[in-house]
Amino acid sequence: MSRGDFSSEDVNRSNRVVSHSSLPSELYDQPLSFAYGKPSARAQIRTHDADFQVVEDLGYEPSGEGEHYFLWVEKEGLNTEFVAEDIARRANVQRKSVSYAGMKDRHAITRQWFSVHLPGKTELTEALFEDASYQVLSRSRHLKKLHTGSLHGNHFKLVLREFQGDRGEFEQRLEQVRNDGFPNYFGEQRFGFNGGNLELAQAMLLGEKRVRNRHKRGLYLSAMRSWLFNWVLHARVNDQCWNKPVLGDLLSLDGSGSNFPYLSPQESDDVEGRVQQGVIHPTGPLWGEPSYHPLFKAGRLEADCLKPFESLMLALESFGLSVSRRSLRAIPRDMAWRWLDDDVVELSFYLPKGSYATSLMRELF
């Protein structure tokens, strides 16, 4: 997400499909649907890096012993990969010895953990980072390395400036998002600059481009799987069932990776109540070799909206990826806001891992 004026059109433009012969032409410029209607408010975001703050939550603290050195880092105006490479250089280790749980925004002030594989008695002293362009706030050892995705979530604090719109309507939307959540779309970051990773993913999957770099290959596969998920979620939003169970759905327990099927109409009262309470959520596919599918009405809905992309789905399966499920809905925790001035509002919230602040924000601006 770039600095400057923030509106729904900006986010939608990034989430559109790039043109390719494998996709129906009517989908090229199809924006993703809104849960609560297209918002009318506008605001400036990231006027300063300090207007967008992120604090990572691993869900645990380093144990204090082990062969992996954990660094709690605050960065501003830097991407996560740059910091990882710089840590590897200063620690005199290979880049693969440094890991992190998730990428964080560049144009922001962010705090996150990095781990460095340092067996033996080697220490990373404070002096090693005295002239670094980021701050190492604390250091500790741990028994295991950080793996991608091994976090609980992130705390966000945003300052939105030059607000234009009806404050009453805006606060009503804030209440809706706080109470009922928002569509758990993958954000535009997932698809590369101007959706370029999607174009490269299609070329790779259809045999038009060979990608030898393993990291890039993974990025492209993730981009395509994410777009297919977004398209299913888009269809569910249109049908007003993104936050409601449909018979045959695979449902996920909040905060857990486990899924279970909703197979019997006799369960409807119990299932609908638990979904309304935010205990369980409907899911959509991250495509790969199918081991299970939604059934009945949910299965038909999913199959119908994915039918135009069968060639891409088969290609994803050929890469040996296993299908998994992702919640269609995200519910922010501890969401609060306050007006710092007549046209300046501060917004804070906590999102589970894998959910995007940009996807929450698109429901507001």
SS (H, E, C) 5-39: EECHHHHHHHCCCCCCCCCCHHHCCCCCCCCCCCC
Helix residue ranges, H only, 277-356: 296-306, 310-318
Q: Are 64 and 105 spatial neighbours (Cβ–Cβ below 8 Å)?
A: no
| CB count in 10 Å sphere of residue 10 | 19
> How would residue 22 be classed by pLDDT, with cut points 50, 70 and 90?
low
pTM across the whole model:
0.88
Phi, psi of 329 (to 5 degrees): -125, 140
Give me the catalytic one of 5, 105, 304, 334: 105
Within-domain flag for 81: yes
Instruction: Please list the helix, strand and coil fractions of the chain in percent, rounded to the nearest 5, in that order.
Output: 35, 25, 40
What would the DSSP string read from start to end of 188-248?
GGGG-GGGHHHHHHHHHHTTS-----HHHHHHHHHHHHHHHHHHHHHHHHHTT-TTS--TT
Rounded to an integer, the average pLDDT of 338-353 is 97
Q: What average pLDDT is seen over the chain? A: 90
Task: Please check whether residues 111 and 218 belong to one and the same domain.
Answer: no
Q: Both 108 and 193 in a single domain?
A: no
Q: How confident is the model at residue 71 (pLDDT cuts 50, 70, 90)?
A: very high
Residues in CB range of 88: below 8 A, 6 or more apart: 94, 95, 97, 98, 116
Domain assignment of residue 173, yes or no: no
CATH number of the domain that residue 80 is part of: 3.30.2350.20
Alpha-carbon gap, residue 34 to 8, rounded angstroms:
9
Does 344 reside within a domain?
no
d(CA 314, CA 319) in angstroms, rounded, equals 9
Check whether residue 144 and residue 189 sit in a common domain. Answer: no
Q: Are residues 38 and 187 in the same domain?
A: yes
- Per residue in 206-246, pLDDT tens? 889 999 988 899 989 999 999 999 999 999 999 999 999 99
Q: Which domain holds residue 216?
A: 7-42+183-330
Q: Has residue 351 been placed in a domain?
A: no
Domain count of the fold of the chain: 2
Residues 316, 262 share a domain: yes
123 and 202 co-located in one domain:
no
Tell me, yes or no, whether 72 and 34 share the same domain: no
**Beta pairing partners, 164:** 42
Residues 132 and 190 grouped into a single domain:
no
Does residue 105 have an active-site annotation?
yes
Give the residue-averaged pLDDT of 351-362. Answer: 95
Question: Residue 3: is its pLDDT beyond 50?
Answer: no
DSSP secondary structure of 25-91? GGGTT-PPPPSS-----EEEE-SSGGGEEEEEE-SS---S-SSEEEEEEEEES--HHHHHHHHHHHH
In a domain, 213, yes or no: yes
Note whether 66 and 125 are same-domain residues.
Answer: yes
Same domain, 293 and 322: yes
Instruction: Tell me the percentage of the chain whose pLDDT exceeds 90.
Output: 79
> Do 34 and 84 have their domain in common?
no
Residue 35 in domain:
yes
Question: Domain containing 288 — which CATH number?
Answer: 3.30.2340.10
Nearest CA to 175 out of 305, 363, 356, 310 is that of 363
Residue type, 262: Y
pLDDT in tens, 260-304: 999 999 999 999 999 999 999 999 999 998 778 899 999 999 999
Last residue of one domain, picked from the residues 102, 126, 150? 150
310 and 206 share a domain? yes
What distance in Å separates the CA atoms of residue 178 and residue 114, rounded to the nearest whole number? Answer: 31
The answer as to whether 47 is a domain residue is: no
- Domain-located, residue 80: yes
Q: For residue 76, is pLDDT > 70?
A: yes
- Write down the residue that tokens 């602040």 correspond to: 357
pLDDT at 330 over 80: yes
Predicted local distance difference test score (pLDDT) of residue 236? 98
The pLDDT of residue 122 is 80
| Mean pLDDT along residues 20-46 | 75
Confidence of residue 324 (pLDDT cuts 50, 70, 90): very high
Whole-number Cα distances in Å, 236 to 191, 226, 267, 299: 21, 15, 21, 12
Percent of the chain with pLDDT over 70: 92
pLDDT at 147 over 80: yes
